[in-house]
Amino acid sequence: MATPAMDMIKPLITLLAIVNPLAIVPFFIHYTQGCTDLQRKRTAWVSAFSAFVVIAVSALLGLQLLSFFGISIASFQVGGGMLLLISSLSMLNAEPAESKTSKDEIRATEVKASLGASIAVVPLTIPLLTGPATMSTVVIFADRTQHVWELAILVGYGVVIGLATGVTFSLAEPIARVLGKTGINVMTRLMGLILAALAVEVMADGLGTLFPVLHRAA
């Protein structure tokens, strides 16, 4: 049975599983090839800050956007849960949870990088780190908050995710050497398994609200 402490920490665990900066380390190394150490460090922390901004905005404005479009939170839970489940299946195949970047996008990004444009926000932060699955998850957890301080904690988790991303990207090359591709794949699959279980729980909550008969059957 879940305790209040477990309920409070669940959003952080879920976000860490979805964002999973370890899985994005190979992409970070690829996109920052030829960069100086200073440029690589700047890219790492710009990505970290951008990830925090995405999470904070989703937490603070996500519900208002749903209300504007007339979407119920139960429907959003089912849709978001399905998106999380799809993301978890990608992770179980040792792929990043969020949308993959095509070869054409990679080539376009490399051209932009050669012209001095930043790749920290696109594609590293969006969609690789914090894409639709991350945003929908934050909105779902924001709906469960009952007090301002709980919402503040959720935004604070964005700070934790940002710091984890910044540190991981700053240490990308040592991490890649120590873990290797196999180690990163194992971590990604483990996170995917956790995310799959959380996705089923989110979908079950939404379906139970939309179809009360399911609650009675349980």
pLDDT tens digits for range 154-181: 999 999 999 999 999 999 999 989 988 8
Backbone angles phi, psi at 34, to 5 degrees: 85, -5
Distant-in-sequence, close-in-space partners of 63: CB < 8 Å, separation ≥ 6: 73, 139, 142, 143
Query: Residue 131 above 80 pLDDT?
Result: yes
Both tokens assigned to 182 = 């196999």
Report the mean per-residue pLDDT for the chain: 86
Report the alpha-carbon distance of residue 38 to residue 47 in Å, rounded: 14
* Separation of alpha carbons 199 and 49, rounded Å: 26
Q: Which of 11, 178, 200, 194 is nearest to 92 (CA)?
A: 194
Cβ–Cβ < 8 Å for 129, 158 = no
Quick one: what percent of the chain has pLDDT higher than 70?
87
What tens digit of pLDDT does each residue of 73-124 get?
899 899 988 988 888 888 888 777 775 555 555 565 555 554 444 789 988 8
Q: Which residue has the tokens 């957890």?
A: 141
Query: CA nearest 160: which of 6, 84, 51?
Result: 51
What's the pTM?
0.82
Quick count: other Cβ atoms within 10 Å of Cβ 71?
14
Q: What is the pLDDT of residue 117?
A: 46
What local confidence, expressed as pLDDT, does residue 14 receive?
93
What was the pLDDT predicted at 154?
96
Residues 78 and 203 sit within 8 Å (Cβ to Cβ): yes
The amino acid present at 202, given as its one-letter code, is V
Lowest mean pLDDT among 12-26, 46-60, 190-204: 190-204
Average the pLDDT over 182-189 and give the result.
Answer: 86
pLDDT of residue 217: 58
Residue 148, class by beta-carbon neighbours within 10 Å (0-12 exposed, 13-18 middle, 19+ buried)?
A: exposed
DSSP 149-210: HHHHHHHHHHHHHHHHHHHHHHTHHHHHHHHHHHHHHHHHHHHHHHHHHHHHHHHHHHHHHH
Q: In 10 A of CB 34, how many CB atoms?
A: 10
pLDDT tens per residue across span 4-38: 777 889 999 999 999 999 989 988 998 888 888 99
Q: What is the dihedral of CA 60, 66, 72, 74, to 10 degrees?
A: -50
Is the CB of residue 37 less than 8 Å from the CB of residue 170?
no
Higher pLDDT, 183 or 54: 54
- At 190 the pLDDT is 86
